Amino acid sequence: MKKTIFSLALGTFGLGMAEFGIMGVLTELARDPGISIPSAGNMISFYAFGVVIGAPVVALCSSRFSLKSTLLFLVALCVIGNAMFTFSTSYTGLAIGRLVSGFPHGAIFGVGAIILSKIAPPGKVTVAVAGMIAGMTVANLVGVPLGTWLGQTFNWRYTFFLIAVFDALVIVSVILWVPNLYDKSESRLTEQFHFLKKPEPWLIFAATMFGNAGVFAWFSYVKPFMITVSGFSDGYMTVIMMLMGLGMVLGNMLSGRLSGRFSPLRIAATTDLVIVLSLILLFAFGENMTASLVMGFICCAGLFALSAPLQILLLQNAKGGELLGAAGGQVAFNLGSAIGAWFGGMMITFGFSWSYVTLPAAVLSFAAMTSLLLYGYQQAKRQQASADAVA
């Protein structure tokens, strides 16, 4: 089982580099085909749209094939998409490359989780899935800073060529270490959608979308922000991206430790509040190097501190449709990436300075917190109704 987890973690490592690696080379990407930085930021949105399209499609169609075959197809799409992005010279070609490379993202998480649920011993599934997800957090700590250094030292295309080659090696690991399994659901397709009749899952989807959009409205443009607003030189960006990646790793770990003492709702709502305050402070004190690093670190820690409690809340409210719920969570997460990058870019398009990307970011994060508070109100009202009915 350890080799299977390692293979899947390699896959999520490649996904993390592809999704987050573009932030560290955004200015180089913009200069190459001669486009604006907000237009280059749209490449983040195209990747997210690929995820939005791909996750539900694969979730509905994958039962016809073995899980291993589906996984091999998805990783092959990662290779093709990143290779297309590497060698494209037009805006359209770059956009298509990002769309293709994003298509398998959410589905790989879903298929990987199903595989681990079938081979992990009882009580070890959560640990196994956490091991798979760890690949993405390590990517932000090691892979993204490496990609930033490659882009600055040589060319941004080297970064994505490295990702394509790495994904090709992931295919080899899947062939060698992932067992050939099938997922045959006995429930009818229509029954899997029943959980969507309640408002609670929609509020969690909204919290996931707005929460990710809030951080991405700023983090998508972390490089021009740190250089233009905070006054760092290009040479510091590799270290800055490593610091942001460390925040993501520690945020994920802290959330896990707090889960034994506090409810998922309390952890998620409090985290969103911390992110809102951090973004406001980034706007106010972003010109101070120390303040920008500390607040940026907190925002990135919050992004991954939200992941586990939101997933738990989603699973608690998607009974009978867990797979579609997980796919919906990935759709909401990456739709948030697209929305955030667009809102942040629009501030520059409208002529504001880079410091102003934090304002729509704070508003979006506040919307995420509001969605969770509404969820809590809805749950309390439902529990009170049940208590009254018993009485």
* 313 and 268 Cβ atoms separated by less than 8 Å: yes
65: its two tokens: 């094939």
> Domain containing 372: what range?
194-384
- In the predicted model, is pLDDT for residue 337 greater than 70? yes
Mean pLDDT of the residues in the chain:
88
* 108 and 75 Cβ atoms separated by less than 8 Å: yes
- In the predicted model, is pLDDT for residue 217 greater than 90? yes
Residue at 138: amino acid letter? V
* 185 and 177 Cβ atoms separated by less than 8 Å: no
Average pLDDT over residues 70-86: 96
Q: How many C-beta atoms lie closer than 10 Å to residue 256's C-beta? A: 16
Which of 180, 203, 231 is the last residue before a domain boundary? 180
CATH code assigned at 75: 1.20.1250.20
Helices (H), the chain: 2-20, 26-31, 37-61, 67-87, 91-102, 105-119, 125-138, 144-153, 156-177, 199-219, 222-224, 237-258, 264-285, 289-305, 307-316, 322-349, 358-390
| 2 and 146 in a common domain | yes
| 118 and 83 in a common domain | yes
225: its two tokens: 């922000």
Confidence of residue 187 (pLDDT cuts 50, 70, 90): low
Residue 391 belongs to a domain: no
| 173 and 224 in a common domain | no
| 159 and 54 in a common domain | yes
Which of 118, 151, 180 is the last residue before a domain boundary? 180
Torsion sign (Cα): 358, 360, 361, 362: positive
Confidence of residue 44 (pLDDT cuts 50, 70, 90): confident
| 205 and 165 in a common domain | no
**Residues in contact with 135: Cβ distance below 8 Å, sequence separation at least 6, in sequence order:** 8, 9, 10, 11, 12, 13, 14, 15, 16
Over the range 315-342, which residues count as b (16 or more CB within 10 Å of their CB) and which as e? eebbeebbbbbbbbbbbbbbbbbbbbbb
Q: Tell me the per-residue pLDDT of 302-333, one tens digit each, with 9 for 90 and over.
A: 998 887 788 778 877 877 666 677 777 878 88
| 130 and 77 in a common domain | yes
Residue 198 belongs to a domain: yes
| 357 and 263 in a common domain | yes
Burial of 63 (0-12, 13-18, 19+ CB in 10 A): middle
CA-to-CA separations, 12 to 37, 126, 131, in angstroms, rounded: 27, 16, 10
Residue 222 belongs to a domain: yes
- In the predicted model, is pLDDT for residue 204 greater than 70? yes
* 10 and 169 Cβ atoms separated by less than 8 Å: yes
| 259 and 335 in a common domain | yes
- In the predicted model, is pLDDT for residue 91 greater than 90? yes
Closest C-alpha among 311, 316, 60, 52 to residue 183 = 60
CA-to-CA separations, 200 to 79, 193, 194, 353, 363, in angstroms, rounded: 37, 14, 12, 38, 22
Average pLDDT over residues 140-157: 92
Which of 110-119, 164-173, 335-344 reaches the highest mean pLDDT? 164-173
Over the range 347-379, which residues count as b (16 or more CB within 10 Å of their CB) and which as e? bbeeeeebbbbbbbbbbbbbbbbbbbeebbeeb
**Residues in contact with 84: Cβ distance below 8 Å, sequence separation at least 6, in sequence order:** 93, 96, 97, 100, 101
Residue 81 belongs to a domain: yes
Residue 170 belongs to a domain: yes
Confidence of residue 192 (pLDDT cuts 50, 70, 90): low
| 243 and 118 in a common domain | no
Confidence of residue 10 (pLDDT cuts 50, 70, 90): very high
Residue 18 belongs to a domain: yes
Which of 157, 180, 203 is the last residue before a domain boundary? 180
The helix/strand/coil state of 14 is helix
* 41 and 341 Cβ atoms separated by less than 8 Å: yes
| 265 and 175 in a common domain | no
Confidence of residue 58 (pLDDT cuts 50, 70, 90): confident
**Residues in contact with 165: Cβ distance below 8 Å, sequence separation at least 6, in sequence order:** none
Average pLDDT over residues 93-98: 96
* 245 and 301 Cβ atoms separated by less than 8 Å: no
| 138 and 87 in a common domain | yes
Residue at 343: amino acid letter? F
Which residue in this structure is represented by tokens 């094939």? Answer: 65
- In the predicted model, is pLDDT for residue 238 greater than 80? yes
Residue 36 belongs to a domain: yes
CA distance 343 to 359: 10
> What does DSSP assign to residue 179?
-
Closest C-alpha among 15, 355, 349 to residue 218 = 355
Could you give the angle at which helices 125-138 and 105-119 cross, rounded to 10 degrees? 150
* 375 and 208 Cβ atoms separated by less than 8 Å: no
CA distance 262 to 278: 22
pLDDT for 136 equals 86
Q: Tell me the per-residue pLDDT of 251-296, one tens digit each, with 9 for 90 and over.
A: 887 887 787 788 889 999 999 999 999 999 999 999 999 999 999 9
Domain tally, the chain:
2
| 204 and 103 in a common domain | no
Residue 156 belongs to a domain: yes
